[in-house]
């Protein structure tokens, strides 16, 4: 397999990802000690993440007019179930464990 080079920008993005991901446990611990509930922490987390995703989609759409997000109707129920399992149940359970 040929070696690939990573641009400095992508390396910085990966370091930011690791930093945010690793510090999330500490941030959750502090938020719990300040009196927030696990449900509130998960809600705030995904409101922020959802807003960032919307910004990314709008920016992508402004750069590429042909950009579309297509989800087939038969896949909608599967995506909804995955979203509920991965977000609604997992993160509050994880935060209660912390």
pLDDT digits (tens, 9 = 90+) for 38-65: 889 988 888 888 898 889 888 888 888 8
Per-residue model confidence (pLDDT) at position 12: 95
User: Three-state DSSP class for 98?
Assistant: coil
Predicted confidence band of residue 76 (pLDDT cuts 50, 70, 90) = confident
Per-residue model confidence (pLDDT) at position 32: 92
Q: Is the pTM of this model over 0.85?
A: no
Q: Where are the domains of the chain?
A: 8-97
pLDDT surpassing 80 at residue 28: yes
DSSP-assigned letters across all residues of 6-69: --HHHHHHHHHHHHHHHHHHHHHHHHHHTT--HHHHHHHHHHHHHHHHHHHHHHHHHH-TT---
């Amino acid at each position: 397999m040929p070696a690939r080079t990573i641009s400095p920008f992508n390396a910085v993005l990966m370091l930011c990802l690791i930093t945010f991901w690793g510090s999330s446990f500490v941030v959750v611990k502090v938020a719990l000690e300040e009196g927030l509930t696990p449900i509130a922490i998960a809600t705030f987390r995904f409101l922020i993440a959802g807003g960032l995703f919307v910004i990314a989609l709008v920016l992508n759409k402004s750069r590429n007019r042909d950009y579309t997000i297509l989800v087939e109707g038969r896949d909608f129920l599967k995506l909804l179930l995955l979203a509920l399992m991965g977000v609604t149940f997992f993160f509050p359970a994880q935060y209660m464990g912390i």
